[in-house]
């Protein structure tokens, strides 16, 4: 039932009347029946009858009584816990089928605690507490979250889940999630984006997995592991690999391709990867497989690849405008197909940056002499040293100008040049995945002593990544522009406040602020009720007795 305003009369005699109306379903139709007409709205408000009626009805509503008493008397709660993130991500966790998958993988194992709840706690911690992602801190953090099963989680449960379970079922979990995703989205893979990154570990000693190598974190002093991830056109992670830290990008790329073929049995797909992956060996690996040849779109090293620098970029031809910041041109060298892409905006930026460098270089040579520029990496590519004289290398300047705002792609597909360029520009999806997995999800810092726990830690991070990508995709579809940090801050403001009133225990939900309501709607879950009756309040513990000390 609800109160409806009914307008009646005309002209000066037009008045609003309040009616109590009941809605009921009659087959496919909804019928409304007027239960009572309370009277004219202006008269009911003026003489206070409406307020009296509301107060009288409120006597029969425990929810209104609790809310009003809290506002009037300022009752103090005995617990307040974070509620919003657990509700939203818990819904996504269920929809991705993770509880059922984890229960199947844990079947036959003798765990005396709830493994699924502990795994969800590990993933949720990496979403909510990016800067405090250790298991030790997690054992205290779960006490601050209102979520079913979290109150039973202890530190040893987190350790055993990371090292004793997630590491061992990593490949099985990856395969189960891949099957679940294909059923969930019911479509075929057409594009797969692959990239790598490294993450260092706070340990001095090396192991078979933790090795020192080229550090993208700029920490060559620390051992590291290499992460290789593949995502589809929706930014959805479909596979990941954890490799020794001294593995090169090319070898990591090879390992991921073999993983796609053998583990996921993907037979036909176009692989999109950055310029660090291209080599004659990787191209043969992609195209010459008998059962599962892959097409590719690979970025080229414009400065290092001789064919690209001397044949592709030097080829004349008209660019086709795709959009305001993208122009494309197709070039064939033998049986090899290239697409040259140019961004006019970036072209102008590169030109201005080079002019600034040359202007500073000229001034430095005139005032400080050659010694001031020798060894400067910013100046090095424009210098010419001959018979003790240091001058500006005009040929190098011209060669650098040919690269302004450009990137070159090599492809085996039959896609148009425009489609090839757009597909490669979508590589930001996997790059955003790495930014999220290393910052928001806090893959690092990793403090674990053993390789097994390191792997388990990263698996928990990727489970969290799936939740984040899922929610972000849903928000994008709804046109929500809130930043991820703002969204998480708003969700964290949704608290569960427990209090006792007249021998009964109630749980109050704090107000929804910012983008919180839209986040709940995107996840497909209702916000918790403002007031929830939990049952009789437990007896309060007796105050400690005071000991009388002898005089």
Q: How far is CA 471 from CA 191, 467, 496, in A?
A: 21, 6, 22
Taking 3-state DSSP, the helix, strand and coil percentages for the chain, each rounded to the nearest 5, stand at 45, 25, 35
Q: How far is CA 448 from CA 170, 416, 424, in A?
A: 17, 48, 36
Q: Are strands 2-8 and 15-26 parallel, antiparallel or unpaired?
A: antiparallel
Sign of the four-CA dihedral 383, 386, 387, 391? negative
Residue bearing tokens 């090839």: 420
Element (H, E) at 23: strand 15-26
Residue bearing tokens 């004793």: 164
The answer to whether 421 and 321 are in contact (CB under 8 A) is no
The answer to whether 342 and 401 are in contact (CB under 8 A) is no
Tokens read off for 375: 């060894």
Tokens read off for 24: 């009921």
d(CA 253, CA 242): 12
Tokens read off for 270: 């176009």
d(CA 336, CA 344): 26
How many residues belong to the chain? 551
d(CA 96, CA 467): 9
The answer to whether 230 and 193 are in contact (CB under 8 A) is yes
d(CA 445, CA 133): 8
Q: Are strands 224-231 and 237-244 parallel, antiparallel or unpaired?
A: antiparallel
Query: Is the omega angle on the peptide bond into residue 256 within 30 degrees of 0, that is, cis?
Result: no
Q: What is the DSSP string of 276-299?
A: GG--HHHHHHHH--SS---EEEEE
pLDDT (0 to 100) of residue 25:
82
The answer to whether 410 and 278 are in contact (CB under 8 A) is yes
**311 alpha-carbon distance from chain centroid:** 41
| CA angle (26, 29, 35) in 5-degree steps | 60
Tokens read off for 540: 């309060």
Element (H, E) at 501: strand 495-501
Q: How far is CA 29 from CA 1, 25, 32, 283, 446, in A?
A: 17, 6, 10, 63, 59
Q: What is the DSSP string of 418-447?
A: HHHHHHHHTTHHHHHHHHIIIIIS----B-
Range 390-394, long-range pairs (CB < 8 A, 24+ positions): 390/365, 392/358, 392/361, 392/362, 392/365
The answer to whether 279 and 245 are in contact (CB under 8 A) is no
The answer to whether 288 and 280 are in contact (CB under 8 A) is no
pLDDT (0 to 100) of residue 200:
78
- Listed in order, strand segments (DSSP E) in 245-388 are 270-273, 295-299, 320-323, 326-333, 336-342, 383-386
pLDDT (0 to 100) of residue 442:
44
Q: Is residue 319 left, alpha or beta, with left meaning phi > 0 and alpha meaning psi from -120 to 50?
A: beta
Q: Which residues contact 70 (CB under 8 A, 6 or more apart)?
A: 499, 508
Residues of the chain with pLDDT under 70: 62-77, 130-133, 183-190, 217, 267-268, 276-278, 375, 427-449, 540-551
pLDDT (0 to 100) of residue 339:
94
**Intra-chain end-to-end CA distance of the chain, in Å:** 70
pLDDT tens per residue across span 330-378? 999 998 999 999 999 999 999 999 999 888 888 888 887 777 777 677 7
Residue bearing tokens 């049986």: 335
pLDDT (0 to 100) of residue 441:
41
The answer to whether 1 and 21 are in contact (CB under 8 A) is yes
């Amino acid at each position: 039932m609800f109160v409806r305003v009914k307008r009646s009369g005309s002209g000066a005699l037009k008045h609003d009347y309040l009616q109590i109306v009941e809605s009921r379903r009659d087959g496919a139709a909804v019928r409304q029946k007027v239960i009572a007409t309370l009277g004219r709205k202006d008269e009911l408000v003026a003489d206070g009858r409406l307020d009296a009626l509301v107060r009288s009805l409120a006597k029969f509503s425990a929810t209104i009584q609790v809310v009003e008493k809290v506002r009037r008397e300022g009752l103090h709660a005995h617990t307040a816990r974070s509620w919003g993130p657990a509700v939203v991500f818990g819904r996504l966790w269920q929809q991705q089928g993770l509880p059922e998958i984890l229960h199947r993988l844990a079947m036959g194992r003798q765990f005396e605690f709830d493994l699924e709840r502990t795994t969800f706690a590990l993933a949720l911690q990496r979403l909510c507490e990016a800067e405090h992602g250790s298991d030790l801190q997690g054992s205290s953090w779960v006490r601050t979250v209102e979520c079913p099963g979290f109150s039973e989680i202890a530190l040893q449960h987190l350790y055993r889940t990371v090292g004793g379970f997630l590491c061992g079922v990593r490949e099985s979990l990856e395969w189960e999630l891949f099957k679940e995703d294909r059923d969930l989205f019911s479509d075929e893979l057409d594009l797969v984006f692959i990239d790598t990154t490294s993450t260092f570990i706070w340990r001095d000693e090396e192991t078979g997995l933790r090795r020192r190598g080229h550090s993208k974190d700029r920490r060559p002093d620390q051992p590291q592991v290499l992460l290789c991830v593949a995502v589809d056109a929706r930014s959805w992670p479909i596979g990941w690999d954890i490799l020794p830290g001294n593995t090169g990008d090319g070898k990591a790329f090879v390992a991921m391709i073999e993983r796609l073929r053998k583990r996921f049995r993907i037979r036909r797909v176009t692989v999109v990867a950055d310029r660090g992956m291209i080599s004659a060996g990787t191209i043969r690996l992609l195209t010459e497989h008998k059962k599962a040849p892959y097409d590719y779109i690979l970025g080229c090293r414009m400065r290092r690849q001789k064919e690209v620098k001397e044949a592709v970029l030097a080829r004349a031809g008209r660019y086709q405008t795709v959009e305001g910041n993208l122009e494309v041109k197709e070039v064939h060298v033998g049986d090899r197909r290239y697409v040259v892409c140019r961004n006019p905006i970036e072209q102008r930026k590169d030109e201005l940056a080079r002019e600034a460098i040359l202007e500073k270089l000229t001034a430095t040579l005139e005032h400080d002499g050659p010694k001031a520029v020798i060894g400067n990496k910013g100046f090095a590519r424009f210098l010419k040293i001959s018979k003790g004289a240091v001058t500006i290398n005009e040929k190098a300047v011209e060669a650098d100008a040919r690269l302004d705002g450009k990137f070159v792609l090599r492809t085996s597909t039959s896609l148009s040049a425009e489609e090839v360029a757009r597909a490669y520009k979508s590589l930001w999806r996997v790059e955003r995945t790495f930014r999220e997995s290393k910052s928001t999800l806090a893959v690092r810092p990793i403090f674990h002593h053993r390789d097994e726990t390191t792997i388990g830690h990263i698996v928990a991070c990727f489970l969290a990544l799936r939740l984040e990508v899922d929610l972000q995709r849903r928000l994008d579809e709804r046109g929500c522009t809130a930043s991820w940090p703002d969204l998480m801050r708003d969700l964290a403001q949704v608290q569960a406040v427990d209090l006792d009133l007249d021998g009964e225990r109630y749980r109050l939900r704090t107000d929804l602020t910012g983008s919180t309501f839209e986040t709940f709607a995107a996840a497909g879950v209702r916000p918790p009720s403002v007031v929830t009756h939990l049952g009789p309040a437990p007896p309060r513990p007796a105050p400690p007795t005071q000991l009388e000390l002898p005089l």
